Structure 1
Amino acid sequence: MDKLDAIFAPKSVAVIGASTKPGKVGHDIFVNILKGNYQGTLYPVNPTAKSIQCVRAYPAISDIPDPVDLGIIILPPPEALKAVMESARVGIKGIVIVSAGFKEVGGEGRKIEEQITAICREAGMRLVGPNCLGVINPHPAVRLNASFSARMPAFGEISFISQSGALCTAVLDFAADRDFGFSKFISIGNKADVDELDLLRYFHKDKETEVIMIYLEELRRGADFIQEVREMTSGERPTPILVIKSGRTSAGAAAAASHTGSLAGSEGIYEAIFQQSGIIRAESIEELFNFAEAFSGRKIPNGKRVAIITNAGGPGIVATDMTVTSGLKLARLSEETIETLASHLPATANVHNPVDVIGDASQDRYENALGAVIRDANVDGALVILTPQSMTNALGTAEAIVKIAKRSQKPILCCFMGIIDVSAGVKHLQENGIPVFRFPEHAAQAFAALYRYSKWTGRQHLAQFAFQHDVERAAEIIRTNLSRGRTYLADADGNEILRCYGFPTLPTFTAKSREEALDYAESMGGPVAMKIISPQIVHKTDAGGVMIGVKGREAVIKAYDTIIENATGFDPNAVIEGVLVQRMAEKGEEVILGMSRFPGYGPLLMFGLGGVLVEVFKDVAFRLAPIGRNEARRLVKGIKGRVILKGYRGRPPCDTGSIERCLVSLSDLSMNHPEIKEMDINPFIVYEKGKGAVAADCRIILEPPAAEKAAR
């Protein structure tokens, strides 16, 4: 038996802080449980009341004569602490604290929450909240509405997790308007004990839950969350998980010293978590419900080729546009299908995709058209649009769609719209598990979500790379620099660390004088790049400290002098350690590989188009380390610039395999050396397929370990 059963399916509930006064939370929650027709035993706890709503009240928890599974606490923090202590003594199995005034306000509230959490863990009680709406289970055998929302939702196959209690009431209203049912519904508030991962584990095992929806404000877990949820979304019993995350800003990232740090922020972390764990992200509450509607049909497409059937041109065009912009393709119907359509449809109909069956279409016309396209091997699923005319039979059309859907494993999504009432048809579709939407663009976006999930569950798994890194030598370089108080690694040390991890680098020398610069440049026999070396100058280009394509004695000497002069003018206090002389890399495609470390989550890896324009175009994607070969490949494919890397307008395809190898090496480097705070390899120059790549520039920012920082 799972300990969370005491939260979701308790045989008995005590409302601790139940009130006789309507409008008080303690009164309303008790009444909601009572009027929701709870199937267990309900006990109000109030030291001054004889009864509440004709139910005998008990002065204290210990006065209840029978065992109690769940305690709902609606008391201020100090009294809540006492109630939790008493609950632990009498053996209550689960606690939900609805009251506010705990960690979210800081100070004494935080201390009390920590005490409550410790008591619950020692007693083996699971704790939801504090500062939450409560928990709802509409299952006919339970009928528990332990919340201050008066609305008991219908029973269904979707479980909902919300960090915001205030949002829950709006979601319940929205769900009622859409005829949505829930398997479980919970608000988790401060997450003192039970958090999203605990609930995802529970719902994944729950036979009543087919789809999980989450409203998320923040996660406190990174790699372990990804590892467990990845198995839930694509393991033996894959469960779709849909999320809406509040906030898309990267506030606080601007102070970072690397491109990766300034571009990442919390949004990069969450996008990485969702991508790596197979979670489907929605942009709004409405889209979240639209996606859930599509997944409730339990059919996932094998590809992205969509057939559209409509009786009106306008909605068909809208659906077509949204299909394409959502990353799907209009299916190219076979000649046999086109011939079949032509035999059933009037001459004025369009028998090519999107198929227009004309406004006066009867249910037979829809049935023949849908039956033909859904059997086509070039079609992975269908969108059926109905705009009712005076002669339209919405229910009959719905019945025809259901008949065909039962014979096909391909998803069929519907859009019944218009002024004339189509509710009978909509109801019939819903009762038979056919997703139905109000507008065609919603259906197309939802189909795209199904396809994304299909790609995730059907992804290939490449064999992992086998690397032999020189971890100790890299660690020695880092220790030496930190012991000298250097947190910005010079290019020479940075390049050596890269070589320890198998990165291809360019021949590089540090010149302390014009003469040395000239000797090094001549030894390379071609044009060189020259860069200032100074711990105080991180962004060399901004300081005028970079010259490229330098060739010839006079040019080398002039470049050396100019770089020193520019650097001194940029920061008169900068310590100039010399000028880096590096062989010029051959021309190729410039990308960036980077890493920024975030407390609580670890290293966040970044990949994107590189060079000086990386922060202009911001075409980057993120993953949390550690990653392997498969995730590295998805990371490379996750940017818009992947088109360039595949070969574009006569340019040959790039050696993306080299990028993948170096991304995995960067992940290993990040995991093995926690002293690396931020890191950019930019530009990382990639050549055509089979010719490899090279790291042309590297920037590494170190941070002493926490213990060392404290000692200082």
Structure 2
Amino acid sequence: MDKLDAIFSPRSVAVVGASASPGKVGHDIFANILKGGYKGILYPVNPKAKSILSVRAYPSVRDIPDSIDLAMIILPPALALKAVEDAVEKGVKGVVIVSAGFREVGAEGRAVEDRIVDMCRKAGVRLVGPNCLGVINPLANVSLNGSFSARMPKAGNISFISQSGALCTSVLDFAADRDFGFSKFISIGNKADVDELDLLRYFHQDMDTEVIMIYLEELRRGPEFIEEVKKITSGDRPTPILAIKSGKTSAGAEAAASHTGALAGSEAVYDAIFEQSGIIRVDSINDLFDFASTFAYKNESMLGKFRRKIPDGNRVAIVTNAGGPGIVATDMTVSSGLQLAEFSDETIEALASHLPAAANLHNPVDVIGDAAQDRYENALAAVIRDENVDGALVILTPQSMTNALGTAEAIVKIARRTHKPILCCFMGIVDVSTGAKFLQENGVPVFRFPESAARAFGTLYRYSQWMNRHHLAPFKLKHDVAGAKKIIADCLKQGKDKLGELDGLNLLKCYGFSTLPTELAKSDAEAVKIADKMEYPVVMKIVSPQILHKSDAGGVKVGMKNADEVKAAFNEIVQNAKNYSPDADIHGVLLQQMAASGKEVILGSNRYPVFGPLIMFGFGGIFVEVFKDVAFRLAPIGRNEARRMSKKIKGYKLLRAFRGQPECDTETIEKLLVCLSDMVMNHPEIQELDINPLLVHEKGQGATVADCRMILKAEDAPETAAK
């Protein structure tokens, strides 16, 4: 038995702080449990009352003669502490603290909260809250409304987690309007003990939960969260998770010295967490409900088995009785990452045999406004059978001759014969209500507007991509970890916390990065001597801890072909640097052999409290902050995540064979992303870094680091790299 069962399915509940005064939270929560038809035994606890709503009250939870599964506490912090102590002594299995005034108000409240958590953990008691709405289980065998929301939601197969209690009441109102049901509903407040990950694990094992919705303000776990949630959204019994994220973290507002730091932020961290764990992020409460409804439906097959239907691809057929909504659906289909399916000749022939001459036989199929149910049935049957079609959107607008119920019955009959998803849009409310209700009751998602149906189908396709993702064998990599540690230790010992190419390139070499011959010149004569040793042409760059963006300072010269050019470039670079930053400490000018041509990309990392290093990849050079075509992942990452990450950027097509351009060495990009991940995991002293540009050569010819910068900070606690 899971310890959270005592919170979601308690056989007995004590409301500590129950009140006889209507309008008080202690009264309303007790009244809501009572009026909700709770199937267990309910005990009010109030030392000043003999009864609450005609139910005998007890002075303390210890005075209750029977065992208690769940204690709901509605008391200020000092009294809550004593109540928890009594509950633990009584042997309760779960505690929910609804009241506020704990860590969210300051140090004193946090101290009380910490003492409560310590007490519960020692006793093996799970704690929800403090500062939360409560817990609701509307299923008939429990029927618990342990919250201060007067509305008991309808029972369903979707569980909802929220950090915000205020949002919960709005969501419950929204759900009632849409006749939307829940399996479990919980507000977690301060997350002193039970947090999102605990609940996601629990709901994944809950046979009454098909989909999980979550409202997030912040996470307090990083890599562990990703690995655990990945098992929930994949595995033998995958559970779709839909998340809406609000709020910003302070880390996103910090000044950054690197491109990666400037482009990253709290939202990039959360996007990475969602993508890596298989969570589907949504933008609005409306979409949250639309998409959850789509995933919650399970169509019955001809064999009588229920299964969630996920498309194999993104090719959609649209069947409509009105041109306008069909055009809207077409536009939204394309913007949702889908494409209109191209019908086979056989499908067009079948459509022609059943539809009138005025009908459109190509996608979107227009069956004309006077279409009866048989016309819909024949058209849908023809397109869904086509091998070029991965699913269908059916749009119905009410006309005088429209039979909404009959059309719905025809759609359900076809849906039971196919493994492909069919989503419907029955536009309107009153005239189509019987048809829409029939579709809902038989597991076919139905929406009021075509754009909602198209977005929902796009989300199904995104989920399909996650479920069907490739799993490649990991790279076999060897790193000189000891050498890298020595370089970092030496730099920190010398007081260097900002590393340029000389130290940075040596560090990157330890992790398999290919670098160019590079030397520092402190005079124009020395620059000429170094350049003569290298193969011309050469690149020259200013070296100064105060000048991180060299191009901005006129501190870079490319393609110096001889000694005269090198000498002139040296003096010009130094003068430009002095003009740009008169107080800059100029160490000299770096000379570097010119790299072979290649596409410029950027690799970077920025370290965040709690979450650790965030890895960045994108198109680089001077345009990285202009186009911001970058993707992020939280380290550690392996080969599979590196591939998905690199394919995420819009410019990925430019790395493939394109209009006569040769294909770039994308496998090396993936390998170096993993090497970078290993490096920042093994060396927590690395706070920020940019490798910009990394020149990616033709396929099979690798990639070369042309420039890099790093920021170090002494650390005590190393992390572990996952290969």
One-letter code of the match for 1:197? L
Q: Aligned letter for 2:29?
A: I
Task: Name the structure 1 match of 2:304.
Answer: none
Aligned-residue identity in percent: 70
**Residue of structure 2 equivalent to 1:107:** 107
Question: How many angstroms apart in 2 are the aligned matches of 1:221 and 1:248?
Answer: 16
* Aligned mates of 1:499, 1:477 — CA distance in 2: 11
My pick for the range that moved more, 516-525 or 455-464, is 516-525
Instruction: Report the residue type matching 2:489 in the other structure.
Output: R
- Partners of 1:254 and 1:48 in 2: CA distance: 52
Contact 1:389 1:420 in 2 (8 A): no
1:536 aligned residue: 546
Cross-structure match for 1:632: 642
2:452 paired residue among 442, 446, 452:
442
- Counterparts of 1:347 and 1:707, CA distance in 2: 74
Give the corresponding residue for 2:136.
Answer: 136
- Greater Cα offset, 566-575 or 146-155: 566-575
Q: Is the 8 A contact 1:253 1:264 kept in 2?
A: no
- Residue 168 of structure 2 corresponds to residue 168 of structure 1: yes
Distance 1:487 1:389 in 2: 72
3-state secondary structure, aligned to 2:32: helix
Distance 1:514 1:700, change over 3 A: same
- Which residue is equivalent to 1:363? 373
Asked if the contact 1:395–1:422 (Cα under 8 Å) also holds between the matched residues in 2, the reply is yes
Q: 2:505 aligns with which of 476, 495, 513?
A: 495
The answer to whether the aligner puts 1:453 opposite 2:463 as a matched pair is yes
User: Is this contact kept in 2: 1:250–1:267, CA < 8 A?
Assistant: no
> 1:612 — aligned with what?
622
Tell me the CA shift for residue 524 of structure 1.
2.4
2:383 to 373, 379, 389: 373
SS in 1 for 2:265: helix
* Cα distance in 2 between the residues matched to 1:702 and 1:517: 28
Query: What SS is found at the alignment partner of 1:120?
Result: helix
Change (3 A) 1:263 1:249: farther
What TM-score, normalized to structure 2?
A: 0.96
Question: Which range is displaced more, 3-12 or 493-502?
Answer: 493-502
Q: What's the counterpart of residue 180 of structure 2? A: 180
Partners in 1 of 2:176 and 2:368 — Cα distance?
Answer: 34
Which among 550, 555, 559 is matched to residue 560 of structure 2? Answer: 550
Do the aligned residues in 1 keep the contact of 2:113 with 2:192 (CA within 8 Å)? yes
Match in the other structure for 1:126: 126
Q: Does 1:522 align with 2:522?
A: no
Question: Which residue is 2:340 aligned to?
Answer: 330
Supply the distance in 1 between the matched residues of 2:164 and 2:282 (Cα, whole angstroms): 17
Q: Residues 4-38 of structure 1: CA distance to partner in whole angstroms, max 9, x if unpaired?
A: 00000000000000111111111110010000000
Give CA deviations for 1:256-278 in whole Å, capped at 9, x if unaligned.
11111111111111011001000
Task: Provide the secondary structure at the position in 2 that maps to 1:238.
Answer: coil
Question: Does the Cα contact within 8 Å between 1:156 and 1:181 map onto a contact in 2?
Answer: yes
User: Contact 2:32 / 2:146 at 8 angstroms: preserved in 1?
Assistant: yes
Which residue in the other structure is 2:413 paired with? 403
Q: Residue 451 of structure 1 aligns to a residue in which SS?
A: helix
Is the partner of 1:623 in helix, strand or coil? Answer: strand
1:478 aligns to 2:488 (yes or no): yes
Partner of 1:564: 574
Measure the CA separation in 2 of the matches of 1:601 and 1:664: 18
The answer to whether structure 1 residue 392 and structure 2 residue 407 are counterparts is: no
Per-residue CA distance 1:282-325 (angstroms, 9 max, x = gap): 00000111111111222111111111111111110111111111
Corresponding pairs, count: 708
Change in 2 beyond 3 A, CA 1:160/1:419: closer
1:351 has 2:361 as partner: yes
Higher mean C-alpha deviation, range 283-292 or range 552-561: 552-561
| Cα pair distance change 1:289/1:419, threshold 3 Å | closer
Decide which moves more: 219-228 or 522-531.
522-531
Counterpart check, 1:660 vs 2:670: yes
Aligned to 1:648: 658
Using a 3 Å threshold, how does the CA distance of structure 1 residues 126 and 541 change in structure 2: closer, same or farther?
same
Does the CA-based 8 Å contact 2:631-2:649 persist in structure 1?
Answer: yes
Which is further off, 360-369 or 550-559? 550-559
Q: Which runs of 5+ in 1 are unaligned?
A: none
Following the alignment from structure 1 to structure 2, what is the Cα–Cα distance between the partners of residues 451 and 707? 41
Q: Structure 2: which amino acid aligns with 1:10?
A: P
Counterpart in the other structure of 2:721 = none
Q: Once superposed, what is the RMSD of the aligned Cα atoms?
A: 1.4
Contact 1:681–1:699 (Cα < 8 Å) also in 2: yes
**Deviation (angstroms), 1:519:** 1.8
- Paired position in structure 1 for 2:8: 8
Amino acid at match of 2:680: S
- Give the drift of 1:648: 3.3
Shift in Å, 1:658 = 1.1
Q: Which amino acid aligns with 1:34?
A: L
The aligned amino acid for 1:530 is M
| More displaced stretch, 581-590 vs 48-57 | 581-590
TM-superposed deviation, 1:707 = 8.5
Which amino acid in the other structure matches residue 60 of structure 2?
A: A
Alpha-carbon contact 2:531-2:591 (below 8 Å) kept: yes
1:64 and 2:91 matched: no
Match of 2:650, SS? coil
1:596-655 Cα offsets, whole Å, 9 max, x none, are 011111110000111111111111110011101000000001111112222333322221
Alpha-carbon contact 1:134-1:146 (below 8 Å) kept: yes
Paired residue type of 2:352: A
- Aligned-partner residue type, residue 582 of structure 2: P
Q: Which amino acid aligns with 2:477?
A: F
CA-CA distance at 1:586 after TM superposition:
2.7
- Per-residue deviation, 1:576: 2.0
**C-alpha displacement at 1:706, in angstroms?**
5.0
In the alignment, residue 258 of structure 2 is paired with which amino acid? S
- Are the equivalent residues in 2 in contact too, given 1:157–1:209 (CA < 8 A)? yes
Q: In structure 1, the residue corresponding to 2:690 is in which secondary structure?
A: strand
- 8 Å CA contact retained: 2:272, 2:634: yes
- CA distance in 2: counterparts of 1:379 and 1:172, whole angstroms: 37
* In structure 2, C-alpha distance between the alignment counterparts of 1:702 and 1:417, rounded to whole Å: 59
Contact 2:117/2:193 (8 A) holds in 1: yes
Aligned to 2:175, the other structure's residue is in SS state helix
Q: Secondary structure of the residue that 1:641 maps to in structure 2? A: helix
Q: Counterpart in 2 of 1:599?
A: 609
Cα distance in 2 between the residues matched to 1:707 and 1:496:
23
The alpha-carbon deviation at position 253 of structure 1 amounts to: 4.2
Corresponding residue of 2:300: none
Residues of 2 paired with 1:293 and 1:308: CA distance? 20
**1:250, 1:263 within 8 Å by CA — same for their partners in 2?**
no
1:576 alignment counterpart: 586
In the alignment, which of 696, 711, 715 is matched to residue 701 of structure 1?
711
Alignment of 1:226-305 (within 5 A): 226-247=226-247, 252-253=252-253, 255-297=255-297, 298-305=308-315
1:470, 1:249 → 2: CA distance? 35
Q: Gaps spanning 5+ residues in structure 2: where? A: 298-307, 719-723
Deviation at 1:549, TM superposition (A): 1.8
1:492 is matched by which residue type in structure 2?
Answer: L
Give the Å deviation of 1:465. 0.4
Does residue 513 (structure 1) correspond to residue 488 (structure 2)? The answer is no
Alpha-carbon distance change, 253 to 592 in structure 1, aligned in 2, over 3 angstroms: farther
TM-score normalised by structure 1 residue count: 0.98
Aligned-partner Cα distance in 2 for 1:186–1:601: 25
Q: Is residue 52 from structure 1 mapped to residue 62 from structure 2 by the alignment? A: no
**8 Å Cα contact 2:252-2:264 kept in structure 1:** no
What is the rounded CA distance, in whole Å, between the counterparts of 1:87 and 1:600 in structure 2? 33
Per the alignment, do residues 705 and 303 of structure 1 end up closer, same or farther by CA in structure 2, a change over 3 Å counting?
same
In structure 2, what residue type is equivalent to 1:330? L
> In structure 1, how many angstroms separate the alpha carbons of the residues matched to 2:429 and 2:62?
60
* SS at structure 1 position matched to 2:648: coil
